[in-house]
């Protein structure tokens, strides 16, 4: 009730409620026309598998799909080799999502005018709605030869500005063992709950806040577990995939190319174990840790930021430490219901807490030069968070999704000895997401999902004059691939 009350915006919320109600009724009518669903096109065209073989609901993987991915996109039979492919087969999938969405942000500082002259400002809620596009993903992956696999994903934002989201090659089953596989390039970290296969699409609900959290005023953009990273990863698993581990060495640059952040490295390790509990399903518990250093000092030349010979950006040194660690659990309750839980404890160096490093907008505002001293009362910011994501899979074609995340600061960067100590709750986050996806079909050639979602996010003390901010988004869209 509190979530709905805080996100209500007069008569416009009534319209949003009507849209959601109509969408739910239309889904119920469409269920009678359900067809059998098949797999993601890029791999389905090779293996002829239905989507329910690899996906709990596209694009989220089930147990078999995770094993297929762990094996380097192989079924471990003779058909893995490219020689078995039809000459007309091209392992490519395009994905884009046209949407309508409505975004409402409370307590925004807006200019006011009198007689056409700027007279002051007022804090008010700002709401926008309209039709829009997601970015375009261009997936291609598979095997180059048995136990040699690859994945490439050029991706664009909605304005068609492209970058390489994923570029990696794998050597699988080294020395004939599933316990030794090596991956090199830019890739998603081995998060048991994958953000790249997330089922939600809103701006705040389409990411996991735990994977990207940065305390208010903090300058550490390098510890974002949800971003694809550049590095090398060693991973392995038992033959039945019940036991899994991974260990990655990454450049501390948040996936940026051309060495623009100097010499710093981060380690990311995971371990998980699955247990068969009979009719309830296969349960999995695991742990992860991300520990590294990243730069806080930006080199200058003649007082201006130094940029490399290739002009890629300012060079950085002065490494300081950070860490993220937690536990993960995936629990199944029969064939239709499951729950994923992720916890996190995070810590940044006091230097990051004071804004040194690289701010989230990429603009360097603090520079830790020789002789810089931290302000009195500076301390390492720390926090704790938890995520709950339940699913109800009515069928492989229809899934209902929920999520609750909360992050609470346990220690602020500006401690009691600071000139202006921070409020203990500054930057705390709570967010709720609900939605569903309906797939009328998913063939070996193409797939389609009708997606409906609502997200509400509350942030403490980050608005004008230290006000709390509530942001909500309602989204309806067609998510399709080919």
Residues 2-481, CATH architecture:
Beta Barrel (2.40)
Question: Among 414, 318, 403, 319, which Cα is nearest to 375's?
Answer: 414
Q: Please tell me the predicted confidence (pLDDT) of residue 16.
A: 47
Place of tokens 């060079």: 315
Q: Please tell me the predicted confidence (pLDDT) of residue 178.
A: 93
Tell me what percent of the residues of the chain surpass a pLDDT of 70.
78
Mark the ranges of the chain whose per-residue pLDDT is less than 50: 1-40, 311
pLDDT in tens, 191-204: 999 999 899 999 99
DSSP secondary structure letters along 377-400: TB---EEEEEEEEEEEEEETTEEE
* Cα dihedral across residues 456, 460, 463, 464: positive or negative: positive
Q: Where are the beta strands (DSSP E) in 253-359?
A: 265-276, 282-298, 300-301, 304-305, 316-333, 337-348
Q: Please tell me the predicted confidence (pLDDT) of residue 462.
A: 94
Q: Please tell me the predicted confidence (pLDDT) of residue 143.
A: 83
What are the sequence ranges of the domains in the chain? Answer: 2-481
Cβ atoms < 10 Å from Cβ of 208: 24
Cβ atoms < 10 Å from Cβ of 217: 19
pLDDT in tens, 374-409: 999 999 999 999 999 999 999 888 999 999 999 999
pTM of the model: 0.83
Rounded Cα gap, residues 261 and 265, in angstroms: 10
pLDDT in tens, 150-180: 999 999 999 999 999 999 999 999 999 999 9
Q: Please tell me the predicted confidence (pLDDT) of residue 368.
A: 67
């Amino acid at each position: 009730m509190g979530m709905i009350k805080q996100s209500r915006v007069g008569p416009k919320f009534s319209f949003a409620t009507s849209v959601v109600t109509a969408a739910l009724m239309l889904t119920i009518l469409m269920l009678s026309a359900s067809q059998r669903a098949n797999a993601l096109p890029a791999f389905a065209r090779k293996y002829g598998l239905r989507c329910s073989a690899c996906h709990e609901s596209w694009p989220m993987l089930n147990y078999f799909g995770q094993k297929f991915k762990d094996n380097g996109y192989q079924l471990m039979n003779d058909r893995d080799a490219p020689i078995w492919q039809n000459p007309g087969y091209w392992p490519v999938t395009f994905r884009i999502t046209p949407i309508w969405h409505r975004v409402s942000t409370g307590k925004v500082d807006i200019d006011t005018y009198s007689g056409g002259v700027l007279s002051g400002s007022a804090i008010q809620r700002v709401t926008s709605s309209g039709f829009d596009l997601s970015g375009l993903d261009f997936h291609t992956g598979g095997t180059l030869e048995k136990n040699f696999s690859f994945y490439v994903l050029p991706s664009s934002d909605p304005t068609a500005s492209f970058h390489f989201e994923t570029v990696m090659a794998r050597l699988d089953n080294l020395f004939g063992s599933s316990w030794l596989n090596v991956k090199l390039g830019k890739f998603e970290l081995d998060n048991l709950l994958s953000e790249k296969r997330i089922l939600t699409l809103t701006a705040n609900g389409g990411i996991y806040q735990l994977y990207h959290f940065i305390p208010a005023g903090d300058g550490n953009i390098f510890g974002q577990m949800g971003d694809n990273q550049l590095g090398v990863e060693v991973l392995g698993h038992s033959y039945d995939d019940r036991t899994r581990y991974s260990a990655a060495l990454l450049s501390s640059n948040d996936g940026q190319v051309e060495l623009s952040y100097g010499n710093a490295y981060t380690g990311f390790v995971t371990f998980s174990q699955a247990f068969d509990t009979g009719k309830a399903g296969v349960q999995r518990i695991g742990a992860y840790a991300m520990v590294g250093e990243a730069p806080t000092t930006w080199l200058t030349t003649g007082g201006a930021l130094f940029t490399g010979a290739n002009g890629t950006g300012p060079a950085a040194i002065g490494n300081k430490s950070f860490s993220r660690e937690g536990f993960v659990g995936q629990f199944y309750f029969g064939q239709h219901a499951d729950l994923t839980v992720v916890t996190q404890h995070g810590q940044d160096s006091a230097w990051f807490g004071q804004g040194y490093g690289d701010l989230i907008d990429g603009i360097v505002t603090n520079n830790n030069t020789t002789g810089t001293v931290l302000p009195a009362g500076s301390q390492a910011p720390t926090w704790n968070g938890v995520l709950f994501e339940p699913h109800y899979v009515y069928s492989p074609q229809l899934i209902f999704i929920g999520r609750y995340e909360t992050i609470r600061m346990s220690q602020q960067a500006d401690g009691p000895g600071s000139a202006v100590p921070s409020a203990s709750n500054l930057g705390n986050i709570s967010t709720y997401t609900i939605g569903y996806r309906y797939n009328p079909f998913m063939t070996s050639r193409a797939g389609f999902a009708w997606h409906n979602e609502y997200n509400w996010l509350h942030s403490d003390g980050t608005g004008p004059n230290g006000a709390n901010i509530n942001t909500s988004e309602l989204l309806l869209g067609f998510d399709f691939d080919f």
